[in-house]
Amino acid sequence: MKILAITNQKGGVGKTTTSVNLAASLAARGQKVLLVDLDPQGNASTGSGIDKAALKNSIYHVLIGKKTMGKVIVRSKKGGFDVAPSNRELAGAEVELVNEIARETRLKQALETVSDYDYVLLDCPPALNFVTVNALTAADSVMIPMQCEYYALEGLSDLVNTIKKVRAHLNPKLEIEGLLRTMFDNRNTLAQQVSAQLEGHFGDKVYKTVIPRNVRLAEAPSYGLPALCYDKTSKGARAYLDLAVEIIKNKKAKKNKNSNKSNS
């Protein structure tokens, strides 16, 4: 089971779009996927076709210790994956757990009770807060969606520093899985320049797949659907399918590399 935190403290970079569409694309490639919505706005839940207002149980109840993960998981019928949903209640979790011991490991402990998934995707809020630290403590690696714009690299350094701190104090195995270029417009010179900077600085940590700016991707959440279900022929849907293939290939390559190391 691979646990991937999808995070960037900058809002509007395509975290939730990536979480929902990657979940659907991995599922379409035969993988068993759990999407954990860790944003009080609950957009990943809504985008997966779940009515967040009608929820009796959510990831909030898991973090405060009232429910197990298995009790809150629901199915995204159209998307073909499972969801641990969220709503506004989650905003209160940080205050309620302020004096609790080991509060940073609540999510990690909860995910240890579900092991029959190939991928667990953690859709993080646009902030480096208690919930995000929980996600980074639970994750094997981090995917950073980002727009190729002027301020993108500035925010990235803050996130990389947070990842280093979590690795040092809470989760020594945590690594950056990759940087994902989102809402990319190939006609934009600045976008091309920032993209080249990213490749120069992070090398093979930058995913080969680039997510284009796409109307269908933007429209799909209002119908409670991943783009793959809304319009599978759209450029956005096809890009996330390509990303799913790239991630599956990377996982296999890493597994083979590790097994070769242990045999030698």
Task: Find the CATH number of the domain harbouring 75.
Answer: 3.40.50.300
Residue 155 pLDDT > 80: no
Residue type, 170: L
Lowest mean pLDDT among 30-34, 114-118, 166-170, 259-263: 259-263
Question: How many domains is the chain built from?
Answer: 1
- Whose structure tokens read 């208690």? 130
pTM (global) more than 0.85: yes
Dist. CA 67–CA 90, nearest whole Å: 13
Dist. CA 126–CA 219, nearest whole Å: 21
Residue 264 pLDDT > 70: no
251 is in which domain, residue-wise?
2-263
Q: Which of 117, 36, 97, 23 is nearest to 69 (CA)?
A: 36
**Non-local CB neighbours of 184 within 8 Å, separated by 6+ positions:** 147, 148, 191, 195, 210, 211, 212, 213
More confident residue, 98 or 110: 110
Q: If pLDDT is split at 50, 70 and 90, which confidence band does 95 have? A: confident
Q: How far is CA 200 from the centre of its chain?
A: 24
